[in-house]
Structure 1
Amino acid sequence: MSLRHRLLAASTALATAAVGALVAVSLTASPAAAADDYSAYVMGYFKESPNASGDSYALHLAVSRDGLDWMPLNQNDPVATPTEGMGGLRDPYLLRKQDGTFVALATDLKGRVFNLDNQYIHVWDSTNLTSFTGYRRVKLHSMATHSWAPEAFWVPSRNQYAVIYSAYNGTRDVFMVNYTTDFVDMGTPEVFFDPGFSVLDGDVLVDGSTFYLSYKNLSDSNLYVARSTTGAPNSFTTISGGLRQGDAIEAPVLVKSNTSSTVWLWGDSFAPANAVVYGWQTTNVDGGSWSAMNQRAFTPPINAKHVTITPITSAEHDALVDRWGAPSWNRLKSSNYPDRYVRHAGNLARIDPFPMDPTADQQWRVVPGLADSAGVSFESVNFPGRYLRHSAYNLRLDPNDGTSIFRADATFYPTAGLGDSSWTSFRSYNYPDRYIRHSGYALRIDVLSPSSPATARQDATFDITY
């Protein structure tokens, strides 16, 4: 059951929903699950924020039931950190191997100064992503160039894994490939994809006997999708037009839905430290037509960069949550401005665009209502003991002074969203005809009802997410 549904359930559940307690499920190594068994997804990523205060050049994990709304694990802190090379990573990749276990690959980089001459990548083994073992750096080539954004896929005709990565061939950036069976002996590098212009960030989705390659064209800064029936080097033909959202785009990843014919293409902003994820979808990759997705439809983890997404089973999902833990905080996403989240700034509450610093300004502990445990109150993560409360109808972040007036002002009842019943609105405890809404991006409580103008009802509707 989602957090949103729990908050809209019985009053007892309202008091505990934000904690997100989950049932522990044990998990051991198993053969590769059939696609029919996959009912969830795991994401890997590193983190960057605009002023670098939220940067983390390590492996982070998140999980999702639907591939759209993501819950970061381990409080959005790392689950594995490199100890060799540059001591950090970018561009992680998670691959389920043929025996059902996983391997994690990553670029050997730390920070925002790029090493253009590094022949190594980071590698970990993992039975089920609840722990990471066998850490090593492996050498891919002896060229005077980099080994960026390593990704891998199984090639049945060779009975080997292909590891592809970005490198400079002396003329332009191309994709190289090494073939391996154990991610220790990496074999001999060869050119995998060289379309005659520089490319970056290759990702291969294997769908039956068809191989789809997404990549960034550095000549026009757009994303493209190519196709091959063999997955062999230099066998891919581009089948899509250029795709871009925002000012710039990179890091494409193709993901097939577990439950439908939908295929998603994710990418993130190329702007320095602008951790905005964008999405497209299609039900016919070969047709080459992709529809841009509204950010209302999905919510990535805070500050996630260069994501990798892998389907998992329900048991694996629950084992990951049991091992790493669900967040102790939430975010509130605006319905009609889905790139904006509720945050405090100068002790005032407002909705601001993501990303933002400090990161914790947008994180809230949703606790039982201070005046009525059937409602909720919002405690600041980075200013514990301070809560959102209304004063002269405006929402502020103030310290709890212990008075009954404060407790009443800081208590709200979650209801079905006035603008979308699958989202949430928050009705004031002591002004029951008023709801939290944004106006000029500032938060206040206003008189609203299901018959209020549509724009006002959307202003008062939020997604309770992470």
Structure 2
Amino acid sequence: MSRSPRPGSQPSRRRFLGMAAGVPLAAVTADLTIGAGAAHAADSAYVMGYFTESPSGLGTDYGLHLAVSTDALQWMPLNQNNPVVTPTAGAGGLRDPFIMRKQDGTFVVLATDLKGTDWSYNSQYIHVWDSTDLRSFTGYRRLKLHDMVTHSWAPEAYWDAGRGRYAILYSSVNSSGHNVIMVNYTTDFRSASAPQVFFDPGYDVIDANMTVGVNGVNYMYFKNNGQQKLVGTRSTSLDPGSFTLFGTPVSHGGTEAPTIVKSLTSNTWYMWGDTYNPNGIFYAWRTTDLAAGTWTELSQRDYTQPLSSKHNTIETITSGEYDNLVAHWGRPAWNRLKSYNFPDRYVRHAGFAGRIDPYPFDPYSDAQWKLVPGLADSSGVSFQSVNYPTRYLRHYSYQLRLDVNDGSSAFAQDATFHRTAGLADSTWASFRSHNYPTRYIRHSDYALRIDPVSTATERADATFSIVY
């Protein structure tokens, strides 16, 4: 759930997606069992739900946000990264949203009833919405799960075919005195059975994420809240108390909120994990053998989380649903630029100087750019600041800085660049100066400048990914 590192704080899970940008959506020819249920044969993309937090709160919002992807790795926020729906009851905000396609093909959205970081707020309820298409949300309500004086953190659900009901997993402090994974069963997400302890290893656990029916085995990952690690369990049944530990735990400096998703085009599984601090950093791992329980961490070159996103959920969708979501909520009117050799850093302005800094930071809008036709040559590109729209990234004495467009020819040329295939990776991008065509934008000691490029290090310094 993404909270400060204290016992009894945090829940999370979901899946991945990739960027739109005109990429054709791959077709899938067979049903795939992923997370809460089976992906439709037509599913070829993904939707992610999340809330947002940023270091000083400028990007913080406790409503439901959506992003889409075609590869479960590169994500495009919808609605300009603004919320698409916000709770109106309980705490008036949400954390840890979960999106699941139900057996009838429609969606249900669940979320923790909590706004902000008041971990002493104990809600016996969770937020619930229905949606046919994730473009509108109806039937908002809160579902009561228990009568205990404790929370209901990070709800997730899956279809239990043997019981003919949905199971809702969440974290609560039971009579044991530490967080355990609880379960309630429901047919309609309007009423639920009495709670049961689903999993209790004897220590504080939160953020259970279920993957059902992979070669007859069910997998549940959770956060060991004491060790700040993601831990795997498995069972051949879905009975409470039947899951046993297996595999090798993973973490990256303290990790929570596991979300597992399978690629729709290969035998690769991805696991996302969130940091427990409010900085909003995701890490990702991959495996081609879920049964082995071992994961390899991905480079941040390989994936891009939505801006300021926390505690994600991922569900598969069809290409038509993908297109409809983009058409309804809109693509971002801005981009970010990720460094190739420092993929945790993004191009930004600070004190009106161009540089690359580690994500996340505030103001987050310092790293948002409108890529507009070049001021001196429309076949090129100029970088217009989102939060200072009269200013553009330009070079001056070979250093890049953010200056007000004075309308001069000299300014237009200094602020115009030509995109080329990435000098270090042709799938990325490099930017050649318009009026100094032997020089490219690169970083040196994290400061941006234009320089001639010849060595492998310089080529890496001059290579960037255009992301959202």
TM-score normalized by the length of structure 1: 0.91
In structure 2, C-alpha distance between the alignment counterparts of 1:80 and 1:2, rounded to whole Å: 22
Equivalent residues in 2 for 1:269-308 (5 A)? 269-271=275-277, 273-308=278-313
Q: In 2, are the aligned partners of 1:153 and 1:161 still within 8 Å (CA)? A: yes
CA distance in structure 2 between the partners assigned to 1:63 and 1:285 by the alignment: 24
Structure (1/2) with the larger helix percentage: 1
2:198 to 192, 203, 210: 192
The alpha-carbon deviation at position 212 of structure 1 amounts to 1.0
Asked if 1:381 is matched to 2:386, the reply is yes
**Hey, what's the Cα distance between the residues in 1 that align with 2:276 and 2:445?**
29
Moved more, 198-207 or 303-312: 198-207
1:252 maps to amino acid? P
Whole-Å separation in 2 of the counterparts to 1:389 and 1:311: 41
Matches within 5 A, 1:203-352: 203-208=209-214, 209-245=216-252, 247-271=253-277, 273-352=278-357
Cα distance in structure 2, aligned partners of 1:354 and 1:438:
16
Q: What is the distance in 1 between the residues matched to 2:218 and 2:413?
A: 58
Structure 1, unmatched stretches of 5+, are: 7-31
1:18 maps to none
8 Å contact from structure 1 (residues 102, 128) kept in 2: yes
Shift in Å at residue 347 of structure 1? 0.4
Q: Tell me the equivalent position of 1:461.
A: 463
- Partner Cα distance (1:105, 1:227) in 2: 24
Q: Secondary structure at the match of 1:406?
A: helix
1:4–1:417: structure 2 CA closer, same or farther, 3 Å change rule?
farther
Q: How does 1:316-465 map to 2 (within 5 A)?
A: 316-448=321-453, 452-465=454-467
Distance in 2 separating the partners of 1:318 and 1:5: 11
Contact 1:43 1:308 in 2 (8 A): yes
* Corresponding residue SS for 1:408: helix
Does 1:138 find its partner at 2:140?
no
Q: Secondary structure at the match of 2:247?
A: coil
From 177, 181, 189, the counterpart of 1:183: 189
**Structure 1 CA distance for aligned equivalents of residues 194 and 409 of structure 2:** 72
Give 1:270 deviation, angstroms.
Answer: 0.9
Q: Equivalent residue for 1:28? A: none
1:369·1:376 contact (CA, 8 Å) conserved in 2?
Answer: yes
List gaps (5 residues or longer) in structure 2. 1-17, 24-36
CA distance in 2, matches of 1:84, 1:227: 36
1:447 is displaced (CA, Å) by 0.8
Q: Name the SS for the 2:129 alignment partner.
A: strand
Per-residue CA deviations over 1:226-284 (Å, capped at 9, x if unaligned) read: 11112221111122222111x2111111111111111111111112x110000111011
1:33 Cα deviation from its structure 2 partner: 8.0
Q: Which letter does structure 2 place at the counterpart of 1:124?
A: W
C-alpha deviation, 1:210, in angstroms:
2.5
Letter in 2 for 1:397: L
1:13 maps to none
Distance, in Å, in 2 between the alignment partners of 1:400 and 1:204 is 53
Find the aligned partners of 1:410 and 1:343 in 2 and give their Cα distance: 15
What TM-score comes out, normalization by structure 2 length?
A: 0.91
CA contact (8 A) 1:33 1:100 kept: no
Call closer, same or farther: CA 1:4–1:76 in 2, change over 3 Å. closer
**Letter of the 2:180 counterpart:** V
Deviates more, 1:168-177 or 1:335-344: 168-177
Q: Could you tell me how far 1:113 is from its partner in structure 2?
A: 1.5
CA contact (8 A) 2:165 2:187 kept: yes
Point out 4+ residue stretches in structure 1 off by more than 6 angstroms.
Answer: 1-6
